């Protein structure tokens, strides 16, 4: 184990203590198995208040989770025995948390949350972050004002961001989430899929002479992104302007040489360091599309909100640390109560991509099979994360949430204040969200007089949920919301003893795709694979003369 990794300081005594705590938690699970949360509320009038926390513009209500004081106390002991407090400080200090790739994990530095004198690889981290942020925001200002014009000296009207994974999910989600803060200066589009339908459908309605293309790839080796970049580059060149790529194509990457080799000018490259993981890069220059849509001030507010959550996470003790509590409850639900998935339901139209964003944030981070030491894990470390926006969700899968035999914990994400001019609609929206959380808690008995006696109407209730209430879905509060989930995921990974910051499982499929592509194009014989794979390739192989 790398001496700087957060698990390096754990002794055998810590591990023995963790084993005992886990056994105690298993006993507590049996103790509460037949208990109902409604009885806990009745026995403790202060339960809702004591399990509701306010931080950075968010109110987080954990009181509808299947935890009591004994469970929470023991979960906090679990966090202590697995070195969570030390790991938090190690992250902010630039320790090598990503031990498999020998990298620090410093996305928190992107929002000004590390000490000014922190250096990594001989560079002052704050200076690096500030330099690239200011350079990016200066370019954003010029593009939005028209000072950075097209090759024909016209104002840029549209921006197309080409990226996938962390170079798409975060920027796309936040650009949509901040729709009420768009000022109409630019239209921002996103393309991720290597399926050219997405790119061609986007480009067909745009004017190449007023469109800026951003190619976002940390390594600048991502096949899907580079395939789309080549198509977009040719689309620009089809205008007949030889200088159009230099003027209207830029890149966000940590690999400058590959970008230059592709044909994008060095002064059109915005860099971020390898201590910023892709799925945590929305705060970096990868967030350029967000800034182009909402402007510099709103982008800085986004960073400020995340910074507020960072400070809370770094400074608060375990028992009042909201990301820690959220992580502990997730581990309780997943690893002790046996819930296999986690639904995230934002009751806010423009946050509809939040569940998809959190799928990557959690499942790519913690969907691991071995510990930091390379030992096989005996339990899963990540639930399946899924969801869509409410109230649409109620008419899709809430039937299962209420009556299915397996309970699914739900995170309800709400905005107290609306950003439109129809307050009655907003009251209806909030009413539905609150009612759904109550329905999951209370259920409905067969003998409920309002419904009549019928087994098919029975809803068991006692199903866990957390409500996260934003004061308003503005840049600062959204920044705090994403940082809350980032830190929660980090804590879960630390407790499980895994590296939450690599993703080698993603690489296997890419590697195999590069091997079989020559067979699909006819430049290599169909051989050396299993019978099913060979059969599928025969069916899908494009024959000479086919389009």
Query: Active site residue: 3, 197, 395, 420, which one?
Result: 395
How far is Cα 303 from Cα 286, in angstroms, rounded to an integer? 13
Long-range CB pairs of 532-535, under 8 A, 24+ apart, other chains included: none
Looking at the fold, whether 191 and 152 belong to one and the same domain comes out as: yes
Query: Is 395 noted as a catalytic residue in this protein?
Result: yes
Angle, to 10 degrees, between the axis of helix 223-237 and the axis of helix 196-203?
30
Looking at the fold, whether 518 and 490 belong to one and the same domain comes out as: no
How far is Cα 529 from Cα 387, in angstroms, rounded to an integer? 36
Looking at the fold, whether 196 and 276 belong to one and the same domain comes out as: yes
Looking at the fold, whether 325 and 284 belong to one and the same domain comes out as: no
How far is Cα 286 from Cα 161, in angstroms, rounded to an integer? 10
Looking at the fold, whether 489 and 522 belong to one and the same domain comes out as: no
Task: Please tell me the predicted confidence (pLDDT) of residue 450.
Answer: 58
- In this predicted structure, the answer to whether residue 3 has a pLDDT above a threshold of 60 is no
Looking at the fold, whether 383 and 520 belong to one and the same domain comes out as: no
Task: Please tell me the predicted confidence (pLDDT) of residue 6.
Answer: 58
pLDDT, tens digit, 9 for 90 and up, residues 10-22: 788 888 999 999 9
- In this predicted structure, the answer to whether residue 406 has a pLDDT above a threshold of 90 is yes
Mean local confidence (pLDDT), 76-105: 97
- Per the DSSP assignment, residues forming a β-bridge with 138 are none
Task: Please tell me the predicted confidence (pLDDT) of residue 451.
Answer: 54
Task: Please tell me the predicted confidence (pLDDT) of residue 10.
Answer: 73
Residue 322 lies inside a defined structural domain of this protein: yes
Residue 4 pLDDT grade (very low, low, confident, very high; cuts 50, 70, 90): low
Query: Active site residue: 54, 230, 319, 510, which one?
Result: 510
- Per the DSSP assignment, residues forming a β-bridge with 386 are 343
Give the burial string for 504-526 (b: 16+ CB within 10 Å, else e).
Answer: eeeeeeeeeeeebeebeeeeeee
Task: Please tell me the predicted confidence (pLDDT) of residue 28.
Answer: 98
pLDDT, tens digit, 9 for 90 and up, residues 461-514: 999 999 999 999 999 999 999 999 999 999 999 999 999 999 999 999 999 999
Looking at the fold, whether 326 and 406 belong to one and the same domain comes out as: yes
Residue 108 lies inside a defined structural domain of this protein: no
How far is Cα 401 from Cα 443, in angstroms, rounded to an integer? 11
**Mean pLDDT, all residues of the chain:** 95
Looking at the fold, whether 358 and 425 belong to one and the same domain comes out as: yes
Closest of 101, 432, 119 to residue 278, by C-alpha? 101
Query: Is 230 noted as a catalytic residue in this protein?
Result: no
Give the rounded percent of residues in the chain with a pLDDT score beyond 70: 96
Residue 242 lies inside a defined structural domain of this protein: yes
Residue 542 pLDDT grade (very low, low, confident, very high; cuts 50, 70, 90): confident
End of a domain among 264, 298, 332? 298
Task: Please tell me the predicted confidence (pLDDT) of residue 449.
Answer: 44
Residue 62 lies inside a defined structural domain of this protein: yes
Cβ 411 vs Cβ 371: under 8 Å: no
End of a domain among 248, 269, 298? 298
pLDDT, tens digit, 9 for 90 and up, residues 168-194: 999 999 999 999 999 999 999 999 999
Query: Is 420 noted as a catalytic residue in this protein?
Result: no
Looking at the fold, whether 35 and 74 belong to one and the same domain comes out as: yes
Looking at the fold, whether 431 and 293 belong to one and the same domain comes out as: no
Query: Active site residue: 132, 224, 362, 364, which one?
Result: 364
pLDDT, tens digit, 9 for 90 and up, residues 111-170: 999 999 999 999 999 999 999 999 999 999 999 999 999 999 999 999 999 999 999 999
Q: How many domains does the chain have?
A: 3
- In this predicted structure, the answer to whether residue 5 has a pLDDT above a threshold of 60 is no
Torsion, Cα 191 192 194 195, to 10 degrees, reads -60
Task: Please tell me the predicted confidence (pLDDT) of residue 1.
Answer: 33
Task: Please tell me the predicted confidence (pLDDT) of residue 454.
Answer: 82
Task: Please tell me the predicted confidence (pLDDT) of residue 14.
Answer: 86
Looking at the fold, whether 379 and 248 belong to one and the same domain comes out as: no
Sign of the dihedral through C-alpha 47, 48, 51, 54: negative
CA-derived radius of gyration, the chain: 25
Residue 303 lies inside a defined structural domain of this protein: no
Task: Please tell me the predicted confidence (pLDDT) of residue 2.
Answer: 39
Which domain does 485 fall in, by range?
A: 12-95+316-444+466-496
pLDDT, tens digit, 9 for 90 and up, residues 211-224: 999 999 999 999 99
CATH number at residue 215: 3.40.50.10490
pLDDT, tens digit, 9 for 90 and up, residues 419-441: 999 999 999 999 999 999 999 99
Task: Please tell me the predicted confidence (pLDDT) of residue 453.
Answer: 63
Residue 103 lies inside a defined structural domain of this protein: no
Residue 507 lies inside a defined structural domain of this protein: no
Looking at the fold, whether 352 and 294 belong to one and the same domain comes out as: no
Mean local confidence (pLDDT), 305-331: 99
Residue 457 lies inside a defined structural domain of this protein: no
- Please state, in angstroms and as integers, the Cα–Cα distance from residue 293 to each residue in 131, 175, 256, 420, following that order: 21, 7, 25, 19
End of a domain among 266, 298, 330? 298
């Amino acid at each position: 184990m790398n001496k700087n990794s957060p698990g390096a300081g754990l002794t055998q005594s810590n591990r023995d203590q963790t084993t005992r705590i886990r056994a105690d938690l298993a006993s507590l699970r049996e103790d509460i198995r037949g208990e109902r949360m409604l009885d806990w509320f009745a026995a403790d009038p202060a339960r809702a208040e004591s399990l509701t926390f306010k931080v950075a513009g968010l109110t987080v209500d954990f009181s509808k989770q299947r935890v009591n004081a004994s469970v929470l106390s023991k979960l906090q002991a679990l966090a202590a025995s697995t070195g969570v407090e030390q790991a938090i400080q190690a992250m902010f200090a630039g320790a090598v948390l990503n031990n498999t790739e020998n990298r620090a994990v410093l996305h928190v530095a992107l929002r000004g949350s590390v000490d000014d004198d922190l250096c990594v690889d001989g560079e002052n981290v704050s200076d690096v972050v500030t330099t690239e942020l200011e350079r990016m925001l200066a370019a954003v200002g010029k593009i939005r004002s028209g000072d950075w014009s097209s090759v024909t000296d016209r104002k840029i009207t549209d921006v197309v961001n080409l990226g996938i994974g962390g170079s798409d999910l975060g920027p796309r989600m936040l650009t949509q989430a901040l729709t009420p803060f768009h000022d109409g200066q630019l239209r921002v589009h996103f393309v991720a899929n290597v399926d050219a339908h997405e790119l061609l459908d986007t480009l067909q309605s745009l004017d190449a002479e007023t469109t800026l293309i951003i190619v976002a790839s940390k390594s600048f080796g991502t096949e899907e992104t580079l395939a789309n970049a080549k198509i977009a580059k040719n689309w620009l060149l089809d205008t007949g302007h030889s200088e159009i790529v230099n003027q209207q194509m830029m890149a966000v990457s940590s690999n400058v040489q590959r970008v230059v080799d592709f044909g994008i000018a060095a002064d059109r490259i915005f860099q971020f360091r390898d201590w910023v993981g892709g799925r945590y890069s929305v705060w970096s220059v990868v967030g350029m599309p967000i800034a182009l849509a909402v402007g510099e001030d709103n982008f800085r507010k986004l960073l400020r909100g995340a910074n507020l959550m960072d400070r809370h996470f770094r400074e608060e003790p375990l028992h009042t640390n909201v990301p820690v509590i959220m992580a502990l409850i997730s581990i309780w639900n997943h690893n002790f109560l046996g819930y296999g998935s986690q639904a995230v339901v934002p009751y806010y139209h423009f946050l509809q991509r939040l569940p998809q964003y959190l799928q990557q944030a959690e499942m790519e981070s913690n969907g691991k099979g071995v510990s930091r030491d390379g030992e096989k894990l005996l339990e899963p470390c990540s639930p399946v994360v899924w969801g869509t926006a409410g109230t649409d969700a109620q008419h899709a899968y809430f039937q299962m949430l209420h009556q299915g035999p397996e309970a699914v914990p739900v995170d309800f994400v709400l905005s107290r204040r609306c950003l439109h001019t129809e307050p009655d609609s907003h009251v209806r929206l909030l009413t539905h969200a609150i009612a759904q959380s109550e329905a999951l808690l209370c259920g409905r008995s067969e003998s409920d007089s309002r419904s009549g006696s019928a087994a098919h109407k029975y809803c068991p209730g006692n199903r866990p949920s957390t409500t996260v209430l934003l004061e308003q879905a503005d840049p600062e509060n959204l920044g705090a919301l994403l940082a809350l989930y980032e830190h929660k995921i980090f804590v879960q990974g630390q407790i499980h003893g895994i590296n939450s910051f690599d993703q080698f499982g993603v690489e296997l499929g890419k590697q195999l795709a590069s091997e079989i592509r020559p067979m699909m194009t006819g430049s290599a014989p169909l051989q050396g694979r299993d019978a099913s794979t060979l059969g599928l390739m025969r069916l899908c192989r494009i024959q000479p003369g086919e389009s």
